[in-house]
Amino acid sequence: MNKVVILGAGSWATALAVLLGKKGVQVKMWARRKEQAEELNTTRENLRYLPGVVIPSTVTVYADVEEALQGSKGVVFGVPSHAVRETAALVRPLLKDQQIVVNTAKGMEEGTTLRLSQVMAGELPPGFDERIVVLSGPSHAEEVGRGIPTTIVVASAKKESALLAQDLFMTPKFRVYTNPDVIGVELGGSLKNVIALCCGISDGLGFGDNTKAALMTRGLAEITRLGAAMGAESLTFLGLAGVGDLIVTCTSMHSRNRRAGMEIGKGKSLQEAIDSVKMVVEGVRTTKVAKELAEKHEVAMPITKQAYEVLFGGASPKEGVARLMMREKTHEMEELVWD
């Protein structure tokens, strides 16, 4: 695992390249555009996506994906969720003896409602389903790139694959845990973006800590309900991929989803909010998928439903809040009720 390729050249891909490069791993990054590859190799800095972070000499950027994959023992997907299928199909004929394939995107596929590991398993060569590892947890690229202490979790259907990923990424500043619950880790990492959008909208409306605490707590409840219905372990959502990632994404100004939500709360349209962030806002697509999954599994997800209505149904943020506050009375925890 001393030679790794990272597919993608955005903020998170760059942060992971810096992390591994500082560890002494020979890292090849793949950028779609030749101009971007040349710029990163020359300036040793990703000025657009991760300014101020020096890319070590152990990292080389390529525009040719075949050249980037040559000799690599591990493949890390650092592309946005909507590009995972296309990227997996692109590298499929080039994969040979790689030990593991790590996905770092947090989202689900719009249209199919598949988790990203499922998307990858369908596109990669036979036998690679047990080599797929999911990496998730509270980890802003801006902080990881600067060596700020961070903890994350990796999950895989095969224990050995998760352990390989753990060994690959573990450093004194980047602690890695393993978890066998792939479904829970993926759902936690993607669905928290919906709640972060809502927390941003709340901030944009000028609401306070009470509102944000309510959104995060009740948001975690509906994430857990959907996860359990889809076969995840409920305890996973109390871990790094669940409440950990939820906290950091709902409260930090590094969070693209929260920032986009704030602009919507201030009155901007969805497109204007996305344009203001200037990077992919994963929660927008995930809101559509989450609503579809909630209906499919007959799971109550009122916050997600109102997020969808605000983003795509023409409802104003204040209308969404009113609907949430004036819903039919219910118990906080359906499992703990009076006879």
- Residues annotated as part of the active site: 192
Integer CA distances (angstroms), 248 to 45, 170, 258, in order: 25, 21, 10
- What CA–CA distance (Å, rounded) separates 40 from 162? 30
Angle at 321 between CA 317 and CA 327, to 5 degrees: 145
CB 56 within 8 A of CB 40: no
Of the candidates 154, 218, 216, 229, which has an alpha carbon nearest to the alpha carbon of residue 186?
A: 154
Indicate the SS3 state at residue 70. Answer: coil
- What CA–CA distance (Å, rounded) separates 54 from 61? 14
- What CA–CA distance (Å, rounded) separates 317 from 320? 5
Element (H, E) at 226: helix 209-229
Indicate the residue type of 276.
S
Element (H, E) at 40: helix 34-43
